[in-house]
Structure 1
């Protein structure tokens, strides 16, 4: 099974992923005013289609409500940049 959901980012901008067997923790910190959504994508043996099946979870801070620009435009969450315009944000990672 493979799927992805996109949620509103947590108010404090802190997200943790913990591996229960080892106790290792990945912590992400970001400003939800800059990165307002969090995608959680997971795969439990459904991909790749050939070779050894993989199991993983991905945390994906994002500025859009979906992976598709046309859907983000309809939902009002697309970032439109003018020529030569840029946008920056910060993401802090901690691995223990």
Structure 2
């Protein structure tokens, strides 16, 4: 099974992923005003199609509601940059 969901970023901009067996924790901190969404993508043995199946979870802070630009445009979440315009944001990672 492989899937991805995109949610509104948490109000405090803090997301944690904990590995239960080891107790290790990955903490991500970001400003929801800069990065308003969080994608959670997971794979439980369905990928890759050939070779050893993998199991993983990915936390993906994102500025768009989906991975597709056309859908983001329809939803009003696409970032449109003018020529020579740039956009920056901060992301802090902590591993314990």
TM-score, normalization by structure 2:
1.00
Partners of 2:17 and 2:91 in 1: CA distance: 15
Q: Shift of the alpha carbon at 1:52? A: 0.3
Distance 2:51 2:75 in 1: 38
Cα shift at 1:54:
0.1
Q: Deviations over 1:37-66 (max 9, x none)?
A: 000000000000000000000000000000
Question: Alignment length, in residue pairs?
Answer: 96
Q: CA deviation at 1:26?
A: 0.2
| Structure 1 residue runs of 4 or more that deviate by more than 4 Å after TM superposition | none
CA RMSD across the alignment: 0.2
SS at match of 1:59: strand
Separation (CA, whole Å) in 2 of partners of 1:28 and 1:22: 19
